[in-house]
Amino acid sequence: MRYAQLHYSHDNIPVGKILCIGRNYADHAKEMKAELPSTPVFFLKPSTALVYDGASIVLPTISSDVHHEVEMTVLIGADGKNIARSHALDHIAGYGIGLDMTLRDIQSIAKAKGLPWTLAKGFDTSAPLSTFAPSSSVPDPHALDVELLVNGSRRQHASTSSLLFHVEDLIVYISQFITLERGDILFTGTPEGVAQVQPGDQLVASLRHGDGSTLASLKVRVQ
Ligand code: MG
C-alpha cells in the first residue's frame, strides 16, 4: 500500500487509482506533434509507481530514452460519481507536484501500433509525488506555477492557467466513467520542455502561488 500525505495532517491516506491526463497544455501537444484533444486523454498508473521526496528514479534497462514530465497533482478527498461541475472542487483534498516519468521510446512504439501506454507510463518509480497542500490554501488551482529544475537549470515552467481542461472539467469527465474515491490522485498534464534524463541527474519540482511562495516541492535523483 502507498500513502498520500496532506500538510498539517497526521492522516496517511491510502492511495487508490492514479489517473493521468495527456496533452493538457497546447505547447506540449505541439512539441509532441500531437493534435489537441476534444475530450481529455486519460491513462492509469499503478500505485506501485509511486515514490516520494528524496527517492530515486530507477531507469529501466529496457528503455534508452526516459523523459521527465512535471505536473500539478490533485488528491481526491471525497468519493463521487457523475460529479457536477459546480461541486467538482469540493472533492479535492489537496494540490501537489509530481513527475510523470515516461519511457518515450517504448511509448512511441505503442503509439505507432495504436497500443496502450501502460508499460511506458506505469513502470516502478515512474510517479514521484510530493506531499499535498490542503485545498483550503488554494483559492484558484488555475493561478499556480509548475516548475522543474534539472541539475539547477529550469527545464519546464508554466502557469496552470494554460491547462486546456481545467481541474473541474477533468473531474466531471472522468467521474462519468470511473468512481472517484478518497485517495485517488490526478496528474493534470505536463507543459512543454519534456526531455531525456540521465543517471545522476537531480530533479527538483515545485508548485507555487503566483507570488512565488511554495505550496509543494519534490526532489529526486535519477539512478
Ligand atoms: Mg504526462
Residue corresponding to grid cell 499535498: 132
- Percent of the chain exceeding pLDDT 70 equals 100
pLDDT of 11 over the 90 cut: no
User: What whole-number distance in Å separates Cα of residue 123 and Cα of residue 98?
Assistant: 15
* Ramachandran category for residue 57: left, alpha or beta (phi over 0 → left; psi -120 to 50 → alpha): beta
Residue 55: partners with Cβ closer than 8 Å, 6 or more residues away: 125, 128, 220
> In this structure, what are the phi and psi dihedrals at residue 44, rounded to the nearest 5 degrees?
-115, 145
Model confidence at 159, pLDDT cuts 50, 70, 90, reads: very high
Residue 112: partners with Cβ closer than 8 Å, 6 or more residues away: none
Q: Following CA atoms 76, 82, 85, 86 in sequence, which dihedral angle do they give, to the nearest 10 degrees?
A: -90
List the grid coordinates of 198. 540521465
153 to each of 130, 156, 190, how far by Cα in Å?
20, 9, 17
Number of C-alpha atoms within 13 angstroms, CB side, residue 45? 31
Q: Are 174 and 9 in contact (CB under 8 A)?
A: no
- Centre of ligand 1 to C-alpha 101, Å, is 8
pLDDT digits (tens, 9 = 90+) for 197-210: 999 999 999 999 99
- Centre of ligand 1 to C-alpha 72, Å, is 10
Mean pLDDT of 1-23: 94
**Ion ligand 1 residues within 5 Å by Cβ:** 69, 100, 190
> In this structure, what are the phi and psi dihedrals at residue 217, rounded to the nearest 5 degrees?
-145, 165
- Centre of ligand 1 to C-alpha 22, Å, is 5
- Centre of ligand 1 to C-alpha 44, Å, is 11
Mean pLDDT of 152-173: 97
Pairing of strands 56-57, 195-196: unpaired
- Centre of ligand 1 to C-alpha 190, Å, is 5
pLDDT digits (tens, 9 = 90+) for 93-144: 999 999 999 999 999 999 999 999 999 999 999 999 999 999 999 999 999 9
- Could you tell me the pTM of the whole model? 0.97
- Centre of ligand 1 to C-alpha 103, Å, is 11
> In this structure, what are the phi and psi dihedrals at residue 21, rounded to the nearest 5 degrees?
-115, 130
- Centre of ligand 1 to C-alpha 47, Å, is 16
- Centre of ligand 1 to C-alpha 137, Å, is 25
